[in-house]
A and B are shown apart, each in its own frame.
Chain A
Amino acid sequence: MKYSIFSLARAALSGHKNWQRTWRDATPKDRYDVVIIGGGGHGLATAWFLASEHGIRNVAVLEKGWIGSGNAGRNTTIIRSNYGLPGNTAFYELSMKLWERMEQDLNYNTMVSQRGVINLYHSDAQRDAYARRGNTMRINGIDAELLDLAAVKKMMPFLNFANARFPVQGGLLQRRGGTARHDAVVWGYAHAASALGVDIIQNCEVSGFVRDANGKVTGVETSRGRIGASKVGMAVAGSSSRVASMAGLRLPIESHVLQAFVSEAIKPLLPNVMTFGAGHFYVSQSDKGGLVFGGDIDGYNSYAQRGNMPVMEDVCEGGMALMPMIGRVRLLRQWGGVMDMSMDGTPIIDKTPVDGLYLNAGWCYGGFKATPGSGFVFAHLLARDESHEEAARFRLDRFRRGAIIDEKGVGAQPNLH
Chain B
Amino acid sequence: MRIVCPFCGERELGEFTYLGDAKPQRPAADAGEDAVYDYVYLRDNVAGVMSEHWYHGGGCRSWLKITRNTLTHEISSVEPAAGVGAAKVGV
Mark A residues whose CB is within 8 Å of B. 241-242, 250-255, 299-304, 306, 308-310, 313, 343, 399-400, 412-415
Contact = CB atoms under 8 A, between A and B. Distances in A.
Given A299-B18, A310-B13, A415-B18, A304 B45 contact: no
B12 A255 contact: no
Contacts of A313: 14
Interface in B27-45: 33, 37, 40-45
A-B pairs with lowest CB-CB distance, top 10: A241-B45, A310-B14, A252-B41, A300-B18, A399-B41, A250-B42, A301-B70, A303-B47, A343-B41, A299-B18
A252 B43 contact: yes
B14 A250 contact: no
B14 A301 contact: no
Contacts of A399: 37, 40-41
A241 B72 CA distance: 18
A205 B66 CA distance: 32
Interface of B: 1, 12-14, 17-18, 20-21, 33, 37, 40-47, 50, 52, 68, 70-73
A252 B41 CA distance: 5
A310 B20 contact: no
Nearest to A399: B41
Contacts of B40: 343, 399, 412
B44 A413 contact: no
Contacts of B12: 309-310
Contacts of A301: 20-21, 45-46, 50, 52, 70
A152 B37 CA distance: 46
B43 A254 contact: yes
B47 A255 contact: yes
Contacts of B50: 301
Contacts of B44: 241, 250
Nearest to A412: B40
Contacts of B43: 241, 250-254
A303 B71 contact: yes
Contacts of A306: 73
A118 B1 CA distance: 34
A304 B12 CA distance: 19
14 contacts: A241-B44, A251-B45, A301-B45, A301-B52, A301-B70, A302-B70, A304-B72, A308-B1, A313-B14, A399-B41, A400-B33, A400-B37, A412-B40, A414-B20
Nearest to A300: B18
B26 to A, nearest CB: 13
Nearest to A304: B73
Contacts of B21: 254, 301
Nearest to B42: A250
Given A301-B21, A302-B73, A400-B37, A251 B42 contact: yes
Given A302-B73, A309-B12, A413-B20, A255 B45 contact: yes
Nearest to B34: A400
B45 A254 contact: yes
A295 to B, nearest CB: 14
Contact of B41 (A242, A255, A304, A412): A412
B75 to A, nearest CB: 11
A250 B43 CA distance: 6
